[in-house]
Amino acid sequence: MLAFNFLSENGTGQYLDTGAWSSKAYKEAAGLGNAEVVASSKEANYNYIPKGYAIDDNADYFHCTSNNTIYGTQIKEFPQTEAPLICDMSSDIFSRPIDVSKFDLIYAGAQKNLGPAGATLVIVKKDALGKSGRYIPTMLDYNTHISKGSMFNTPPVFSVYVSMLTLRWLKANGGVEAAQQRNEEKAALLYNEIDRNPLFVGTAAVEDRSTMNACFLLNDEASHKEAFDAMIAEKNISGVNGHRSVGGYRASMYNAMDLDSVAALVDCMKELENKF
């Protein structure tokens, strides 16, 4: 959808390739027109965020993904560029303060920190639209949805309603600033244990570690996986298996996850160390 709205017939969209979702976004744009990857961490299994790359100020746009759920990396500082800046923030929206004025388009699926799957949040500068010079299918044109107050088609009312409730909960609990403090506390608790415990190792570069998704491995999976999985099950901890494409473990610590739940996982890690 973003490529239709921003990629001109003879222009170029530039992409930072940091994981599965940024790669998919690039693929879709490349099927429509000129798209290029300015930097990628694919060669290292996406375990870091590329730095020091150059962005063409004359590009139609520059696209990045702020948080990479599968690989556990997160952009800490966004690049400065004269090109329109577009970001997929699906997995860390509302987890930390963001200066939205620096972006021409932010889009995010609701299903992580906002609400149930089915709704998408879009923040777009109106004056950035209508410049692609190409025909845009009606449903894919952001101006269509803006002109109809986001109700051009029947909206997913349940997802939108729950998103409203979630935003009220977020506001009542200190807003995004307080959410960031809680998220950093949870992440620090888990990453400190990963680094301290000789049985575990983190997979992402330390400076790029995600506060939303901590990915880690057992140093000796053959000897310890069965025991660790049993401990996790006994504590009623679920959903910590790594993505099927990378294996290992992944603790997703979205806004709704409380500190006690992270502490329960850390206790299992300590128990495993004591057992061996």
Kindly list the catalytic residues: 21, 88, 112
Q: What is the DSSP letter of 26?
A: H
The closest alpha carbon to 254, from 16, 65, 74, belongs to 74
The encoded tokens of residue 66 equal 């702020």
CB burial of 134-149 (b: ≥16 within 10 Å; e: otherwise) equals eebeeeebbeebeeee
Q: What crossing angle do the helices spanning 175-196 and 259-275 adopt, rounded to 10°?
A: 0
- What is the C-alpha to C-alpha distance for residues 13 and 2, in angstroms, rounded to an integer? 10
Quote the DSSP letter at residue 27.
H
Query: Which helix (H) or strand (E) is 92 found in, with range?
Result: none
CB 204 within 8 A of CB 49: no
64: phi then psi, degrees, rounded to nearest 5: -140, 165
Using H for helix, E for strand and C for coil, what is the string for 140-190? Answer: HCHHHHHHCCCCCCCCCHHHHHHHHHHHHHHHHCCHHHHHHHHHHHHHHHH
Q: Which residue has the tokens 């000789």?
A: 198
Residues 6+ apart with CB under 8 A from 251: 190, 213, 214, 216, 240, 262, 265
